[in-house]
Structure 1
Amino acid sequence: MENMDDQVLDAETLGRSDTVRQYFGEHYETVRGYAQMLMDQGELRGLIGPREVPRLWERHILNSAAVVPYLAGAGSVVDVGSGAGLPGVVVAIMRPDTEVFLVEPMERRTTWLTEVVEELGLSNVVVKRGRAEEFDGAFEVDAVTSRAVGALSKLVRVSMPLVRVGGELILLKGRNVRDEFDGARKVLRKFGAGEPEVLPGETVDGVEATTVVRVARRK
């Protein structure tokens, strides 16, 4: 069995590979800096579990990056329940012209997010402490994203009020997300939203695609 040092080396090898460098392009060094911060401090500060360190690039950094192509037209984005900054920090790095709000209720996590923003020089990021529903009416954005936050019905209820009419929810979800559609349809109708779309979240060869769900707000 591999020991932890070998596993971390594997994660670092993926992160330093030519494939990953080419994927992130001019943003690679900043993404790598963020990944290093998570490797160094993430477990200690309760942001990621010990088993997540060896698969940080595959399961977290690249997984978060998978949402970015679907945010191409968004000038402003909210990451609800941002936690360690996944996917919000990755979005902000890859889309420097997009205003990104990181919404997170826990003080220790917003402290971390503020440190990340300062360390990486992310001038397009605003950290907001609180729950998504607390910001209803405070601002509207082109898109809201989130990762591993809750059931689709809850996400729509708390997040859709932050989306301007014509904007979208772009969510990273599990492969069985279609099982959540029936339970979400009542709240989807409230916002005049259409049927959720399930889209492939692909990044680099050899890394399993994730699942992206897109829902448009129509009223």
Structure 2
Amino acid sequence: MTATADLQPELEAGLDALGIDRAHAPRLLAYLALLARWNATYNLTAVRDPREMVTRHLLDSLSFHAFVPDGALVDIGTGPGLPGIPLAIVRPGVDVTLVESNGKKTRFMRQALRELGLANARVAESRAESLPRSGAFGCLVARALGTLAELVRVGGHLIAPGGRLLAMKGRHPDDEIAALPEGWQVAAAHRLAVPGLDAERHLVVLTRLNDRTNQDQ
């Protein structure tokens, strides 16, 4: 297995391409090393090669960092902390709540937060629809978790007035956009470039209709 230290040049090149300070590389690699170690026993992710994790987990999670506002962010269905933990590492002004119902994944994340010393992140062991924090977050992010309509259904209540839902998708999800529930709209859709990944990625930004705070943004 590739030693994570050997991956630093590759990660740093990816961070450069995304406009992220290379100083975050050691902490990101520490998270990756811990994920790879736990994954060998607990099967936290289907991606097992650390080199592939750099692209498919770290850089993919960070590809939309520029669209994430400072403040309270909730990452629903985060699994082992993706994209929330990489975002918390590179964006200290973001206060991240990691929502996951799988016990082995929440145990891993709590250990990762302790080892990484991430004071701006916390774990909520819960299903998103059951989290009792209505309107508490200015931003909700979700990566590879259901359709846009499903994201609104399970997480829409968590978003504050003027807040945004950031959904990471592969191809531009025209069918999902057409099926959005009443009261929600697409504020923007951005094609993302993930260094080292030859696949489509899009970020779809949803807001509530008639939300004046989000008009013209």
Query: Normalising TM by the smaller chain, what interval?
Result: 0.7 to 0.9
Q: Which moved more, 1:156-165 or 1:16-25?
A: 16-25
Whether the aligned pair in 1 keeps the contact of 2:164 and 2:207 (CA below 8 Å) is yes
Residues 1:168 and 1:119: Cα distance change in structure 2 (over 3 Å): same
Alpha-carbon separation, structure 2, partners of 1:214 and 1:52:
31
1:217 to 1:25, Cα distance in 2 relative to 1, 3 A: farther
Extract unaligned runs of 5+ from structure 1.
Answer: none
- Identity in percent: 28
| 1:39 lines up with 2:33 in the alignment | no
Residues 1:207 and 1:12: Cα distance change in structure 2 (over 3 Å) = farther
Other structure's SS at 1:16 match: helix
Q: Which of residues 54, 57, 70 in structure 1 aligns to 2:54? A: 57
Shift of 1:213: 1.0
Structure 1 residues 139 and 156 mapped into 2: Cα distance closer, same or farther (>3 Å)?
Answer: closer
Measured in 2, the distance between the counterparts of 1:154 and 1:93 equals 28
Q: Secondary structure at the match of 1:145?
A: strand
Read off the aligned partner of 1:16 and give its amino acid letter: P
1:85 aligned counterpart, secondary structure: coil
Greater mean deviation of Cα atoms: 18-27 or 104-113? 18-27
Q: Which residue of 2 aligns with 1:88?
A: 84
Within a 5 Å distance, the mapping from 1:104-183 to structure 2 comes to 104-138=100-134, 140-183=136-179
Choose from 192, 202, 205 the match for 1:214: 205
Equivalent position amino acid for 2:56 in 1: R
Letter aligned with residue 98 of structure 1: V
Residues 154 and 21 of structure 1: is their aligned pair in 2 closer, same or farther, counting only changes over 3 Å? closer
Q: Is the 8 A contact 2:79 2:105 kept in 1?
A: yes
Gaps of 5+ in 2: 212-217
Distance 1:95 1:180, change over 3 A: same
**1:155 aligned partner, one-letter code:** L
Is this contact kept in 2: 1:136–1:161, CA < 8 A?
no
1:19 is aligned to 2:10:
no
Cα distance, 1:25–1:181 mapped onto 2, change above 3 Å: same
Structure 1 residues 141 and 87: CA distance shift in structure 2, 3 A: same
Alpha-carbon RMSD? 2.3
CA contact (8 A) 1:201 1:211 kept: yes
- Equivalent residue in structure 1 for 2:26, among 19, 22, 29: 29
Are the counterparts in 1 of residues 135 and 157 from structure 2 also a CA contact under 8 Å?
no
Instruction: Write out per-residue CA displacement over residues 36-77 of structure 1, whole angstroms, 9 at most, x where no aligned residue.
Output: 112222242111125554411111110000121110x23110
Change (3 A) 1:159 1:149: same
1:198 aligns with 2:189: yes
